Amino acid sequence: MPTKRSELKTELRKALKNSEIVPYFQPMVGIRSGKLVGFEVLARWLHPQRGTIRPDEFIPLAEQADLIGELTDTILLQAFAATAALDKSLTISVNISPIQLRDPSLPEEIRRAAAMAAFPLNRLTIEITESALVDNLELAASIATKLKNLGVKLALDDFGTGYSSLRNLQALPFDELKVDRSFVSSMVQCRDSRKIVAAVIGLGQSLKLTTVAEGIENETQADILRWLGCDVGQGWIYGPPVSVHDLPKIVDAPMSTSTHTLHDSPASD
């Protein structure tokens, strides 16, 4: 539907001006401790007529319309402002589009946004999906190194779904490896998925990376991941992404479901 798409692009430009693009915050939880360690920041478009639009629909539009830099900026600024005053141990993980790793001004833009909100950059992780990294690995690596020099951590997102994964892992200075949700979802039923998750976590551990599993929806999955030695979990079981207004609630509330089960489980030591 080309007309609808171009319409949406025009609307997206307006939406950025009208502050309709906002960050939601999904808890990231220590798989053994059950403690909140931070949040992944996920963009939402609060469209006045169409309701909430998911990023899978508007991020590609923003990339095509050359609005992705502006979108990242507004998400960063709002996320920094919302979390700067929270407990210093809490981190935020922000997604950037792989095409932004071709933009040498990215580190300076991030530094400036953080300075405006007095947000310390050692509490920021930048998540990168591997899909488009490969086309200019040298440039991506130099931008990644600048980010690291600012104290920012780097996560390789959706690991296992892209291509040349291992080459990306070696070329960029990652701190964190995120196991893709598709492996976590099928892990309970499918022994091969479980073996893949085990191998990915083992790889992360031997490279001394923090391992994170996304899309954890039930206790069985959490149990397996803890048993495999995964560090951090994220998913419906710990809570969905919430708006800035609901953020204080998850900061104060214990991560009850998980804490209970994890402490009761024999493999939790």
**By the criterion CB under 6 A, which residues form the site for ligand C2E?**
26, 42-43, 54-56, 59, 75, 95-97, 127, 129, 157-158, 181, 214-217, 234-236, 241
CB burial of residue 87 (10 Å; 0-12, 13-18, 19+) = exposed
CA-wise closest residue to 173 among 145, 134, 150? 145
**Residue 72 is inside which H or E element, if any?**
helix 68-83
Which of 68, 27, 16 is CA-nearest to residue 246? 27
Per the structure block, which two tokens stand in for 203? 């790889």
What DSSP string describes 116-182? HTT--GGGEEEEEESTTGGGGHHHHHHHHHHHHHTT-EEEEEEETSSSSHHHHHHHS--SEEEE-HH
What is the rounded CA–CA span in Å between residue 222 and residue 178?
15
152 binds, among Mg ion, ligand C2E, none (CB under 5 to 8 A by kind): none
Pick one of Mg ion, ligand C2E, none as the site partner of residue 21 (Cβ within 5 to 8 A by kind).
none
Of 30 and 241, CB closest to ligand C2E: 241
Q: CA-to-CA distance for 66 and 211, rounded, in angstroms?
A: 32
If the CB atoms of residues 11 and 126 are measured against Mg ion, the closer one turns out to be: 126
Q: CB nearer to ligand C2E: give 3 or 101.
A: 101
Query: Counting contacts by CB under 5 A, is residue 176 touching Mg ion?
Result: no
Report 78-117 residues binding Mg ion (CB under 5 A). 95
Q: What minimum distance in Å lies between the beta carbon of 83 and Mg ion? A: 16
Which residue in 158, 176, 223, 231 binds Mg ion (CB under 5 A)? 158
State which H helix or E strand residue 29 sits in.
strand 21-30
Look at residue 109 and give the partner it binds from Mg ion, ligand C2E, none, a contact being a CB closer than 5 to 8 Å depending on partner kind: none
Nearer to ligand C2E, 163 or 236 (CB): 236
Residue 217 Cβ, how far from ligand C2E at the closest point, in Å? 4
Q: Residue 55: name its binding partner from Mg ion, ligand C2E, none (Cβ under 5 to 8 Å by kind).
A: ligand C2E
Is residue 130 near Mg ion by the rule CB under 5 A? Answer: no
